[in-house]
Structure 1
Amino acid sequence: MPHNEFGQPIGPAVPGWTPRPAIEPVTLTGRHVRLEPLTQAHAGLLYAPMVTESDPRIWTYYPHPPRMTWPEFGAYVAGLLHLPAAVPLAVRGPDGAGLGVACYLRIDPANGSAEVGGIVYASALQRTTAATEAMVLMMQHVFDDLGYRRYEWKCDSLNEPSRAAAARLGFTYEGRFRQAAVYKERNRDTDWFSITDAEWPALRSAYAAWLDRANFDDAGRQVRTLEQIRAATGR
């Protein structure tokens, strides 16, 4: 632990640090999924997959009704487009089908920090290879393309699927912000998770090994889970 001239402990040096580029609207393409800058025009593509064709429980931990009307859904998309320090992305399949939404939030280029949030996957996307690949593509852009130091994940502390997804992807649990918000006339405690640039290389290798074609049989079933691969690499 370094100390200053007064004998006080101080944080490790970050030599040569300069602010990172801002995260701009970007298209990210993988083998199973494509993310592209969200526009109001995507509302028509996403409404049925995310509302009428999805389990309404996907909206439980968001401040939106589970069976939004078309005008309500249009307002939801418009709201995402006006979030401060955010880049919302539409998630689409290789065939162009609408599959969901994910956002870069709390973008802080000066400190090299950003959050992934506002993630709403249609039922058709949940628990698929494409769902994982979408998250990996977003991380790769932040760490590899832009050189950020910190990537955050936050969720309602009672949202067990989100907590499990963060753990599966290798995010580190950092703590709980009690009574952090009120939505749908109820309290939200928010759990915080993160990945740092020091952790990223091992995680990147684990993701690549899991997404490798050789890790899936002819029926598309995984040979090794991501957790098994991470455990073998110490992440």
Structure 2
Amino acid sequence: MSQNTNTWGQPVGFALPDWQSRPRPEFIPFTGDYCFLEPLSAERHGRELYAAYALAEDGRDWTYMFAQPFNDEAAYLAYARQIENGHDPMHFAVIDKESRRAVGTLALMRIEPTHGVMEIGHVAFSPLLKQTRMATEAHYLLMRYAFEQLGYRRYEWKCDSCNQPSRNAALRLGFQLEGIFRQAIVYKGRSRDTCWFSIIDSEWPQVKLGFERWLSADNFDAGGRQRYRLEALRQG
């Protein structure tokens, strides 16, 4: 895109004369081929989520989360009640379409309708959800909602720079690393450098194509193993 200049010859960003503030996301359900997303409810989903998280061998999945590991169901239910009605972050439960059980959560957050920007965060996937078609589809459903239904321009992912699995996941899903904000946050008694990633609206068509190719039943063999990686299907 060519560089614009103002009346004084200074370089400025490209004009958006028709831009208007975008709608805020709503607490609505989303349906995919492999999973549902529903607004998080402690009453409906809490016990299933705690049981799913309890399948992990230890508490390492919570190291880079703001929440702590939960020692018992009551502790998780209290946490779920605290976050279920928030409008930023907006937490959604991921429901396995076959078992109809909640297996993880994720949230839309740092929502800026004026600028058309939001972030995906608080991604808490249980062992029943990690590295499954459901996990990828859950991200696809919210990303499609942001770009196509709400008309947002930018979709962000941020994580602790020490969290290599999260960094890898962002790149796999089509986000681009923009940089590292040093000493950005203090949490859990330690300093955090934060990696910033994004997808912008002009990139969405290619990112969407990769998702749809990867999620297609034809991309999986009889044993459920992927034939092609998401990154490869996003190219060309």
Tell me, yes or no, whether TM beats 0.5.
yes
- TM-score, length basis structure 1: 0.93
Are the aligned partners of 1:150 and 1:196 in contact in 2 as well (CA < 8 Å)? yes
2:5 matches 1:6: no
The residue aligned with 1:102 is 106
Paired residue for 2:213, among 209, 216, 233? Answer: 209
Alignment of 1:114-133 (within 5 A): 114-133=118-137
Are the aligned partners of 2:70 and 2:76 in contact in 1 as well (CA < 8 Å)? no
Percent of pairs with identical residues: 43
Displacement after TM superposition at 1:87 (Å): 1.4
CA distance in 2, matches of 1:29, 1:84: 21
Alignment of 1:1-235 (within 5 A): 1-41=3-43, 42-50=45-53, 52-55=54-57, 56-81=59-84, 83=86, 85-94=88-97, 95-230=99-234, 232-233=235-236
Residues 218 and 29 of structure 1, relative CA distance in 2, 3 Å threshold = same
- TM-score, length basis structure 2: 0.93
How many aligned residue pairs are there?
A: 231
RMSD in angstroms over aligned alpha carbons? Answer: 1.4
Unaligned segments of structure 2, at least 5 residues:
none
Cα displacement string for residues 113-143 of structure 1 (whole angstroms, at most 9, x for unaligned residues): 1000000000111011111011001101111
Cα displacement string for residues 52-87 of structure 1 (whole angstroms, at most 9, x for unaligned residues): 212421111113333432332123223323545321
Unaligned segments of structure 1, at least 5 residues:
none
Are the aligned partners of 1:54 and 1:124 in contact in 2 as well (CA < 8 Å)? no
